Amino acid sequence: MLSQRSGPDPEGRPGLSILALGGWVVGAAALAALAWTQLRPKPPAPPVVAQEAAPAPAAAPEPPPRPPAPPPAAGARPASLEEVVGRGIAAVVTVETDKGKGSAFFVAPDRLLTNVHVVSGNSYVTIRRSNGETATAFVEATSPDYDIAVLKLASPAATQVTIPLGSAGDLRPGQEVIAIGSPLGLQNSVTRGIVSSLRQMGPVTVVQTDAAINPGNSGGPLLDRNGSAIGINTFILTTGRPSGVQGGSQGLNFAIAIDHAKALLEGRSPAEGALAQDNGNGLNRQPPASETEQQQTQGSRLYEARLAQLAQAADTLDRAWERLLAKGYQGKVEGSFERGWYALWADGALRGTFVPGFEASLDQVRSNADTIKRLSITADEDARTAGVLPGTRRELRQKYRLDYPGWGL
């Protein structure tokens, strides 16, 4: 960590706080060695098992909410496509925010499922039913890594139609599926297709289908032929930090497996909804990570840890730079910089002069800035050697505000 020391103040006031590298620079090599040995993937924390509550005294039972329509009994006539679509439309709504529109569907009279990118970071959204009625829903839970959000209504309708939840694990190649939503703002739009594949993209199990999915379909249900939701449609599929896959074109359309959402609704991690790697259904699955991919993952984790340490030092330098400009600089700084002291490497950016007596302070700031630059370049080269992709390295530098173009990274 960069430390501070005092420099002379020509006005006789308390000296300007400036940065000194101290033991931080000396310990950089030790930090890297420590990170290599200690920053390794940790097993996920075990799920919290809910304890059973003591039985409450007997009381008059409240009338239960209206359950979803049961599946056809054995030997009964299967529902027609028109009946499946009709029930689905009654449970699907349009989600409206200040940034756009998407879809959602009722899984209980007071709860709906949608995508995280549909709610766009809002705490409350407006839902519009198929009959035009609107209501306000609270964003109760989100899982950005799985692009799943749960909405809750304060005043649910007891007669609200809901969609039962199935499982993507029961799917077969060529099985018929139906997507319902509000693509391009056109509410109650229905498309039909087949299951192309079941894939593992990062931590997320997704259903690939040729049923057309367009902007506005996101958050709507992907139904099987019985009317059960087996996925949540997503136009832009994001799987954690890596760049996502865009659907809605060339038959490459995706839905988040409903099994992840079922876990979230039950208060568990969506990761517990991951399907077994071999469930015997013959659908394509991504093979286990190769040795090279494991090396890239480990290299990314180490690179991010080193950037996080450098960012702490850079934050301290930000404050010292601001004090130096306030007390020891006369003039203006031309241009806009993610961190103000990046102007030290931009020709013509410093359109002024430093006050006599602050030369030592400027030299110390410049020295610390050069050290952060050198360590950033070294960390990036180590990550490149470890096989970390350029896009991943750039995203991490941007995350920690250490992506100054003047460094040549």
Question: Is residue 20's pLDDT more than 80?
Answer: no
Question: Is residue 231's pLDDT more than 90?
Answer: yes
Catalytic residue among 103, 110, 117, 145: 117
- 147 in catalytic set: yes
Q: Are 114 and 97 in contact (CB under 8 A)?
A: no
Kindly report the average pLDDT of the chain as a whole number. 78
- 249 in catalytic set: no
Average pLDDT of 106-111?
Answer: 95
Catalytic residue among 143, 196, 218, 300: 218
**Residue 119 CB: number of other CB atoms within 10 A?**
23
Question: Is residue 64's pLDDT more than 90?
Answer: no
Q: Are 91 and 106 in contact (CB under 8 A)?
A: yes
Predicted confidence (pLDDT) per residue in 354-367, tens digit:
999 998 999 999 99
Phi, psi of 307, deg, nearest 5: -65, -35
Average pLDDT of 340-346?
Answer: 92
Predicted confidence (pLDDT) per residue in 233-259, tens digit:
986 554 443 334 444 445 578 999 999
Which of 166, 130, 136 shows the shortest CA–CA distance to 152? 136
- 290 pLDDT band, cuts 50/70/90, is low
Cα gap 216→282, rounded to integer Å: 31
Cα gap 244→221, rounded to integer Å: 20
Cα 306 to chain center, whole Å? 22
Catalytic residue among 110, 145, 147, 380: 147
- 363 in catalytic set: no
Cα gap 146→74, rounded to integer Å: 35
DSSP states along 135-179: EEEEEEEEEGGGTEEEEEESS--TT-----B--GGG--TT-EEEE
CA distances 19 to 3, 31, 145, 330, 339, Å, are 6, 20, 38, 21, 16
Q: Are 399 and 42 in contact (CB under 8 A)?
A: no
